[in-house]
Amino acid sequence: MDAPTDAPTDASTRAPRGAWHWTKRGLQIGGLALVGLTGFAIVDGWEAFGKAPEGERAARMQVSPQYADGGFENPQPLYNDVWGMVKLIFDTSPDSTPLQTIPTVAGDADRFATPPASGLRVTWLGHSTMLVEIDGVRVLTDPVWGERTSPLSWIGPRRWYAPPLRLEDLPPIDAVVISHDHYDHLDTPTILALREMIATKGWDTMFVAPLGVGAHLAYWGVPEDRIFELDWWDRLPVGALEIVCTPARHASGRTLFDKDRTLWAGYGLLGPEHRVFFSGDTGLFPALGEIGERLGPFDLTMIEVGAYGRAWPDWHLGPEQAVRAHRMVRGDAMLPVHWGLFDLAYHGWTEPIERVRVAAAAADVELLLPRPGESVEPSSPPTWTQWWPDLRWRSGAEDPIVATMMDATAVAP
């Protein structure tokens, strides 16, 4: 009797496996690897993803004038050129990250034992992290001491230098202000460490954040009675200071599924003798003029100048529009921030500061240009020397950043 047609065959008579077999096997292996990697990423980043607002916190968000259709909205929507973003990948500056060691002013925590002679001193610690000492109150903005601006410990933009000041060397902080919940502004490891340090040292520190962001802070163990969530134009007294939450043109989100679930903002720090404006992340928009009218003039503005691109002109100001924003809010001295620590765009790492110097000179705006970790009093700034290298950079004329839905002539008088 003949053997059945489906009987196993000897290896020598087995038909060779075709390309489709190996393609399927490759897809199976690749799929399993992707599932495993995704699972690892979820576990690794779970805590950093934060928590969705709920209960009374969510109810308060939903009555905000900025809230509609399940999320927060800008009065002027953000324009995105998706194809332009793809093309920019192939036009990345060869100098987008530094090859040289960036000079910083490290240590020297004893300086904070002596109050600023003028009543106003700011220490730029890189990106948007500043220690502001104003009329006897200490405010820490968007604190980032972590290694990466990412929910994952092994991938994501990595800082270019160690924090100039150790977290444990901070003087007592009266208020930590958070502009929004993107990873380069709300850093989980830093909040966790701050929470423990504040509890250990017995500081009476307030955490001030836009609507909804307090859910992340509470999830990470910050006591609810220390969290103060503000809507645009809300005011909060902190000692002799009044903190005012100001409008911004930006976005929020920490995962693919929570876009604009929480609010974004800037801040006015209004003291009896001095006034400071912190832009947070923002594109150019008309309400900057209203901020100047209602809260200005400001002795100092701390305005973001980096991580820009023509394909997303409304997300960030860009250097030239940062100077314009400074004038709109009626600022005196300007400290350019949001540059010089992380690779978050495609331009050269020194380009933001080079372009803002040109724009400021043309507009007769005084710039403060401290090294990371350096403290400065705006009323008596030191003589500046260029601490960054001379590298190739594109001018504003070569690569203009122009916000949409904005009157090109609207600036402060």
Domain of 144 in residue numbering reads as 82-95+118-376
What's the CA gap between 26 and 315, in Å, rounded?
40
Let me know if residue 206 belongs to a domain: yes
- Residue 139 sits in a domain whose CATH number is 3.60.15.10
Q: Three-class SS of residue 72?
A: strand
Mean pLDDT of the chain: 91
pLDDT at 142 over 50: yes
- How much is the average pLDDT of 140-159? 95
| Residue bearing tokens 């003798």 | 273
Of residues 41 and 334, the one with the higher pLDDT is: 334
Let me know if residue 45 belongs to a domain: no
Q: How many domains does the chain have?
A: 1
What's the pLDDT tens digit per position in 74-128? 999 999 999 988 888 888 999 999 999 999 999 889 999 999 999 999 999 999 9
Strands (E), 22-69: 67-68
Residue 21 Cα to chain centre, angstroms: 48
What's the pLDDT tens digit per position in 261-285? 999 999 999 999 999 999 999 999 9
Contacts of 184 (CB under 8 A, 6+ apart): 127, 128, 144, 149, 157, 342, 344
Let me know if residue 199 belongs to a domain: yes
- How much is the average pLDDT of 321-340? 98
Residues 128 and 141 sit within 8 Å (Cβ to Cβ)? yes
Q: Three-class SS of residue 258?
A: coil
Let me know if residue 110 belongs to a domain: no
Give percent above pLDDT 70 in the chain.
Answer: 88
* Confidence band of 20 (pLDDT split at 50, 70, 90): low
Backbone angles phi, psi at 390, to 5 degrees: -80, 110
HSE, CB side, 13 Å, CA atoms: give it for residue 208: 30
* Confidence band of 153 (pLDDT split at 50, 70, 90): confident
Burial class (CB in 10 A: 0-12, 13-18, 19+), 386: exposed
Nearest Cα neighbor of 249 from 199, 290, 213, 218 is 290
User: Is the whole-model pTM more than 0.75?
Assistant: yes
* Confidence band of 5 (pLDDT split at 50, 70, 90): very low
